[in-house]
Amino acid sequence: MPASESVLMCEPRYYTVTEGRNPYMAASIGKVDRQKALTQWHGVKTAFEELGMPVKTIEPVEGFEDMVFTANQTFTGLNRQMEKICVLGQMRHPARRGEVAHFEKWFRDAGYKIVKLKDETLTFEGTGDCVWHPGKRLLWGGYGFRTDPEIYNEVADAFEAPVVTLKLVHERFYHLDTCFCPLTQDAVLIYPSAFAPESLELILKLFPIVLAADEKEASSKLVCNASIVDSTAIVQAGAQAAVRQIKAIGLQVRETETGEFLKSGASSFCLKMHLF
């Protein structure tokens, strides 16, 4: 499975926190500094670009304050014929469901084959819960809070790739991307307490190197919501324990400030979608 060639981002022009859809948001209603968020978003965008990862953008739409989190509305990749596939998300919360149509149009115009899930009653929150294993035709799928496990059969069919499902059990780690970050083909950074015991066992069996994030950094800095570009991890600034761990396995670290997005339970990973 080839790595992505670029990423999709959405400027936080209308970003705010209006309701408590997760524990981070519940404590942050009305507390977003939009100008600061814009500055931080540009910092993440610059980090991608300076690491050689081109950034494309989708136009934000008023009324959809969470469009900035482009990881959630879709899931992308290549099938075995190397066709570009975009599986549309089906968001858990009604306030976010309208975002998907705008992303569907963008990906259709970009030449992706659009796949809609057959059962509209099930939920799926894109790359928030479904993550490619680096370099392999293998998917990791989280469930328990935002995504229903039954959808992964269809996702597996769309990409002709097996899915290892992981049950999430800690409400502060409501998406897989908040507690599970593949760093290399052999190494992953996780917050162990976020997973059911049988799911944690699967991770330990399939990754030769499993780094455990510090509890405080995992929760307050969302270190597992990092983005990997080649051999560099883009992480929230100040996560010293995670930085040491990541560097110890031979990766570089680019620290960025995403504090305004932490108020929604998100960091750099949530701010981009992989493009192929």
Catalytically annotated residues: 175, 270
* C-alpha to C-alpha distance for 84 and 64, rounded to whole angstroms: 26
* C-alpha to C-alpha distance for 104 and 215, rounded to whole angstroms: 37
Encode burial over 173-194: b for 16+ CB neighbours within 10 A, e otherwise: bbbbbbbbbbbbeebbbbbbbb
* C-alpha to C-alpha distance for 246 and 41, rounded to whole angstroms: 23
Reading across the β-sheet that carries 252-256, which strands appear in turn? 227-229, 232-236, 252-256
* C-alpha to C-alpha distance for 93 and 207, rounded to whole angstroms: 33
C-alpha to C-alpha distances, 276 to 60, 110, 149, nearest whole angstrom: 21, 10, 25
The residues near 40 (Cβ < 8 Å, ≥ 6 apart) are 256, 257, 258, 259, 260, 261
HSE-up (13 A, CA, CB side) for residue 106: 24
Helix or strand or coil: residue 85?
Answer: strand
The token pair that represents 57 in the structure block: 């953008």
| Residue spans of beta strands (DSSP E) within the chain | 6-9, 55-57, 74-78, 84-88, 113-115, 130-132, 139-143, 163-167, 180-182, 187-190, 209-212, 227-229, 232-236, 252-256, 273-275
